Amino acid sequence: MFKLVVLCVVVCGLFAAAPACAETIFISNEQDNTVSAIDGATLSLVATVPTGRRPRGIASSPDGKFIYVAEGDDNRIDVLDAAHRKVVGQIPSGNDPEQFALSQDGKRIFVANEDDNLVSAIDIAKKAVVNSAPVGVEPEGMAASHNGKLVAATSETTSMVHLLDAGTLKSINNVLVDPRPRSVEFSPDDKTIWVTSELAGTLTALATDTGKIIGHMKFAIPGVEREHVQAVGLALTRDGKRLFVALGPANRVAEVDPANLSVRRYFLVGRRVWHVALSPDEGRLYSANGNSGDISVVDLHSNEVVKSIPSGRGPWGVAVTP
């Protein structure tokens, strides 16, 4: 046992100050109709799982046992067994599921039905859509509050953030933001809603209770044309002190200080970065790079990109299990 522990520390320590031996990184490959599984200890591809057509949104169940994948062209959510790395179930999702969010208790999935301009609530145990509500045109980003009371959605064409009651999906507020909002997240205390806008290359902070804009910033990278700086996926640490934004064809991930909306640093990653996710210990950040067919591994202790790992064609979403 002692030798096994030492080996784990040595291997993981090559890339991060805190070992992350047990974790597995799952990547949805939009063009291959697969999910890649990457071992966190060796940072190597260990499995490629066939899925439905056009997998994009991906997330882990709270206990890490299952991976849920939105299959946009098959109108369903595939359920993967994380340990055995195979599809073990399917859940109807409504038309064209895009991104989605799980409730904190893991019992419901809130999904953006892009073609129907709806947000749907799925009961996982019943494997059925139990409620839906109209939102703006082309809903994309989805987030569920930590207190279980609220759901936030973005609509790309309407350029709005929609706040809904998590139980009833009744509309609470609709807020106009910058063009083509892509991703949305609640702060750890649920007091702030963060939203990225792809076409404007911006990040906006909204007060959850009023919907008022309380912060706004525009990304600009020296030497990169402005139209290539497109803010898409985002990830926030559990303490709310580090926020990461994928910047699309700029091939960068920005680290933002949420307290003053300033850029601490840019990480140069693969081409056309879509989404990012943190490791369970928050010692690493993983980015899905759609045009280079790989993921980038960022060590958040040394603040360096330490590895690029081939994934598949069109990697889009990232989920990590312990």
101 in Cβ contact with 110 (< 8 Å): yes
pLDDT greater than 90 at residue 20 = no
Domain that holds residue 126: 2-321
Task: Give Cβ neighbours of residue 191 (< 8 Å, ≥ 6 apart).
Answer: 207, 208, 209
Helix (H) or strand (E) holding 144: strand 139-144
Q: How far is CA 91 from CA 77, 214, 221, in A?
A: 5, 38, 42
Tokens of 62: 């709270």
Q: How many structural domains compose the chain?
A: 1
3-class DSSP state of 103: coil
Residue 184: phi and psi, rounded to 5, are -145, 145
Distance CA 67, CA 136 (A): 28
In this prediction, residue 101 carries a pLDDT of 98
Task: Give the residues across from 315 on adjacent strands.
Answer: 29
Give the per-residue pLDDT at 97.
Answer: 97
Write the DSSP string, 281-293.
TSSEEEEEETTTT
Identify the pLDDT of residue 134. 98
The confidence score (pLDDT) of residue 263 equals 98
CA atoms within 13 A on the CB side of 51: 40
The answer, yes or no, to whether residue 9 has pLDDT greater than 90, is no
Q: What confidence score (pLDDT) does residue 14 get?
A: 45
CA–CA gap between residue 99 and residue 153 (Å, rounded): 9
Q: Which band of pLDDT confidence, cut at 50, 70 and 90, is reported for residue 22?
A: confident
Lowest mean pLDDT among 15-19, 31-35, 118-122, 315-319: 15-19
pLDDT digits (tens, 9 = 90+) for 185-199: 999 999 999 999 999
Give the global pTM: 0.93
28-50 pLDDT, tens digit per residue, is 999 999 999 999 999 999 999 99
Residue 19 has pLDDT above 50, yes or no: no
For residue 255, pLDDT beyond 70: yes
Rounded-to-integer distance, Cα 246 and Cα 266, Å? 10
Residue 91 to residue 201: CA distance in whole angstroms: 34
CA distances for 86 relative to 13, 101, 205, 259, 308, angstroms: 29, 21, 38, 41, 24
Identify the weakest region by mean pLDDT among 13-22, 207-216, 253-262.
13-22
Per-residue pLDDT tens digits for 164-182: 999 999 999 999 999 999 9
How crowded is residue 181: how many other Cβ atoms within 10 Å of its Cβ?
31
CATH code for the domain of 64: 2.130.10.10
The whole-chain average pLDDT of the chain stands at 94
pLDDT in tens, 122-145: 999 999 999 999 999 999 999 999
Amino acid, single-letter form, for residue 285: L
Per-residue pLDDT band for 256 (boundaries 50, 70, 90) equals very high
**Residue pLDDT, tens place only, 47-57:** 999 999 999 99
| pLDDT score of 21 | 53
pLDDT tens-place string over residues 238-247: 999 999 999 9
Length of the chain equals 322
Predicted pLDDT at 12: 52
246 pairs with which residues across the strands?
253
Q: Centre a 10 Å sphere on the Cβ of residue 225 and count the other Cβ atoms it contains.
A: 9
Q: Which residues pair with 55 in a beta bridge?
A: 71
What's the alpha-carbon Rg for the chain, to the nearest Å?
A: 18
Could you tell me the two tokens for 316? 């889009």
Tell me the pLDDT tens digit for each residue of 45-93: 999 999 999 999 999 999 999 999 999 999 999 999 999 999 999 999 9
Number of alpha helices (DSSP H) and beta strands (DSSP E) in the chain: 1, 28
**How does strand 34-39 pair with strand 24-29?**
antiparallel
Torsion, CA 272, CA 275, CA 278, CA 284, rounded to 10: 0
Q: With contact defined as beta carbons under 8 Å apart, do 277 and 320 qualify?
A: yes
